[in-house]
Amino acid sequence: MKPLQIRLTTLTIFVLATALFRLVPHWYNFTPIAALALFGASRFERKWLGLAVPMAAMLLSDSLIGFHGNMGSVYVSFGLTWLLGLWALKQPTAGRIAAASVTSSLLFFLVTNFSVWYGSTFYPQTAAGLLTCYTAGLAFYNGTSFFLNGLLGDLFFSAVLFGAYYMLQQRYSVLKPARS
């Protein structure tokens, strides 16, 4: 097997194994998908696969979990997170990974809650209505914070993915990217 195939296979297994986390009981919004998008953007040599593989994993798990009316905004936010990873994590460091994770959490929160507000009959279509929607989004499901859980999940899974992959690269040089 060629080094690129070994890297791609290892990365895909990493991504799919992490995506399975969505299928086990977990805190609301404490999921690996944003971390997967950042990781895929940073670590896949074929960048389009860094988006396609996590999105495919998400589609597969969503087909088992179920879809809802705002799924488009969820997928858009993860696409934006992938773009963030392309830009911010060309040379990943712990600080850049943490900053990208926090930014991805903010992106997800802003995009998905904007989608809830836009065209809603529940919230007035005004700046005050949008602010009310964002405020309601901070404390969702009996006081459990979707934003805080998302932030903690993004930070945790980014640390796990990037950290574990870094350790594997130190042990198996074939996993290190080819130098141009």
Per-residue pLDDT tens digits for 49-106 = 889 877 887 888 888 888 887 889 999 999 999 999 999 998 999 999 999 999 999 9
H or E element at residue 125:
none
Between 159 and 43, the more confident residue is 159
Work out how many domains the chain is built from and give that number: 1
Please tell me the distance from the alpha carbon of residue 18 to that of residue 31, in angstroms, as a whole number. Answer: 9
Lowest mean per-residue pLDDT among 43-47, 140-144, 149-153: 140-144
With respect to residue 179, please indicate whether it lies within any of the assigned structural domains.
no
Angle between helices 146-171 and 127-138 (to 10 degrees): 60
What pLDDT sits at residue 118? 95
Residues 55/78, Cβ–Cβ less than 8 Å: yes
Residue span of the structural domain in which 103 resides: 3-174
DSSP per residue, 88-120: H-SS--HHHHHHHHHHHHHHHHHHHHHHHHTT-
With b for 16 or more beta-carbon neighbours within 10 A and e for fewer, the 149-169 pattern comes to bbbbbbbebbebbbeebeeeb
CATH classification at residue 120: 1.10.1760
Query: Does a structural domain hold residue 131?
Result: yes
- What's the pLDDT score for residue 46? 84
Is residue 180 over pLDDT 50? no
Query: CA-CA distances (angstroms) from residue 8 to 2, 42, 180?
Result: 10, 13, 18
Assigned domain for 180 exists: no
Mean pLDDT computed over every residue of the chain: 86
Q: Tell which residue, 23, 87, 22, has the closest CA to residue 50.
A: 87
Q: Is residue 153 part of a domain?
A: yes
Decide if 168 is inside a domain. Answer: yes
Q: Is residue 162 part of a domain?
A: yes
High-pLDDT (> 70) share of the chain, % = 94
pLDDT confidence bin for 144, thresholds 50/70/90 = low
Count Cβ atoms below 10 Å from residue 124 Cβ, excluding itself: 13
pLDDT of residue 89: 92
Mean pLDDT of 114-143: 87
List of residues 6+ apart from 112 with CB closer than 8 A: 70, 73, 74, 77, 137
